[in-house]
Amino acid sequence: MIVSKFLVAAATISLSATAFAAGTHGGGHGHGAASGEPGKASEVSRTITVEMYDNYYEPESITVSPGETVRFMVENKGNLVHEFNIGTPEMHEGHQEEMMMMVEHGVIQGGKLNHDMMNMDMGNGHSMKHDDPNSVLLEPGQSKEVVWKFSDKGNIEFACNVPGHYQAGMYGKVNFE
């Protein structure tokens, strides 16, 4: 059973490596500016619980109002490391390249993170800390919260950018009222 899970993960990463070899496509690299801004806990209008599985979210979509501040309680109920990241499809595409570097450098190791390696310098002032306010990267069984204020209506989604996970369908739509 464990061997088959690792084979699936290895195949997914292998397929992702081929897709990423095509080149850089740009984007916001996970920083969230086009999708809103970090929210203030005092302005939260509601809390949405998001559960991450291998490779899907519950719920699969959410509805928000422009200007609304939401607290997301995110829990990884899967067997692999997963990410919850709020952004545009273009931002996710760019961020997937950073996430591939995290796999290549041994930061993401299937179902665990090498926390010591997360301080590694990726150049241009970026590290692998994965500490952007619109995103959490969680090992199985972990949970964290994201407080986010949504901007005006736009093409926004939440996604897991661990190599191969987005391509396997691990993303959800943010609908605006």
pLDDT in tens, 52-86: 999 899 999 999 999 999 999 999 999 999 999 99
Residue with tokens 């595409």: 93
**0.75 exceeded by the pTM?**
yes
| CB contact at 8 A, 88 and 33 | no
Phi/psi-derived region of residue 169, left when phi > 0, alpha when psi is between -120 and 50, beta in every other case: left
Dist CA 80 CA 91 (whole Å): 22
Tens of pLDDT, residue by residue over 26-61, are 333 444 457 899 999 999 999 999 999 998 999 999
- Of 49, 40, 32, give the one whose Cα is nearest residue 156: 32
The CA–CA distances, whole Å, from 134 to 20, 37, 105 equal: 23, 8, 23
DSSP at 39 = P
